[in-house]
């Protein structure tokens, strides 16, 4: 298994990358995201309170897709040094919980990323970017699909880091 991280400057770039991943056979449960609550809310044309209670991906007349569908039903986590973030996906949710636990010990999101084998320099850069308006996407997938995942993340502007077994 490999984990391909892509750091995006804008929500729109990350949204396009998620749509490309899904379109090309990467499963939704392989995709993770961490994004500032305010960044997601300002980028989405959706009432997130309605989306949070929806059983389907439909909100009113609209169907949520891509990154919007991943983060819409999430509850924001307050992570010191980063602010309120949405974590979507199994691994991102674990990272968010670790970041909140670590905050009590004076660490936080950077330390949580390092727990998942992200090199320290990248973990610090990711934390700083997320604290701003960046979006961190990552795909945990089989080695055979890792190259394709990297290609779609890069094509849409992602700065790539690969961590793998």
Q: How far apart are CA 102 and CA 100, in angstroms?
A: 5
How confident is the model over 146-165, as a mean pLDDT?
Answer: 88
136 or 62, higher pLDDT: 136
Phi, psi of 138 (to 5 degrees): -150, 145
How confident is the model over 85-111, as a mean pLDDT?
Answer: 84
How confident is the model over 104-116, as a mean pLDDT?
Answer: 82
- The pLDDT of residue 104 is 62
Instruction: Provide the number of structural domains found in the chain.
Output: 1
Phi, psi of 156 (to 5 degrees): -105, 20
The set of residues, in sequence order, having a beta carbon less than 8 Å from that of 142 and lying 6+ positions away, is 1, 2
- The pLDDT of residue 54 is 43
Q: How far apart are CA 139 and CA 158, in angstroms?
A: 12
77 pLDDT higher than 70: yes
- Structural domain for 49, as ranges: 2-164
Tokens representing 118? 């992200």
Of 17-21, 25-29, 70-74, 161-165, the range with the lowest mean pLDDT is 161-165
How confident is the model over 8-19, as a mean pLDDT?
Answer: 95
How confident is the model over 124-133, as a mean pLDDT?
Answer: 93
Q: What is the pTM of this model?
A: 0.85
83 pLDDT higher than 80: yes
163 pLDDT higher than 60: yes
């Amino acid at each position: 298994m490999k984990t391909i991280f892509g750091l995006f400057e804008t929500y729109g770039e990350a949204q396009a990358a998620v749509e490309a991943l899904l379109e090309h056979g990467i499963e939704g449960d392989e995709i993770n995201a961490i994004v500032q609550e305010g960044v997601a809310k300002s980028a989405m044309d959706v009432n997130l309170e309605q989306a949070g209670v929806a059983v389907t991906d439909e909100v009113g007349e609209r169907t949520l897709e891509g990154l919007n569908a991943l983060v819409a039903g999430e509850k924001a986590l307050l992570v010191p040094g980063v602010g309120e973030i949405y974590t979507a996906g199994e691994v991102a949710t674990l990272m968010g919980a670790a970041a909140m636990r670590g905050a009590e010990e004076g660490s936080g999101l950077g330390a949580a990323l390092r727990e998942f084998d992200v090199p320290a320099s990248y973990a610090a850069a990711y934390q700083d970017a997320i604290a701003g308006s960046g979006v961190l996407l990552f795909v945990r997938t089989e080695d055979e699909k890792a190259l394709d995942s990297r290609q779609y993340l890069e094509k849409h502007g992602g700065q790539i880091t690969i961590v793998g077994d």
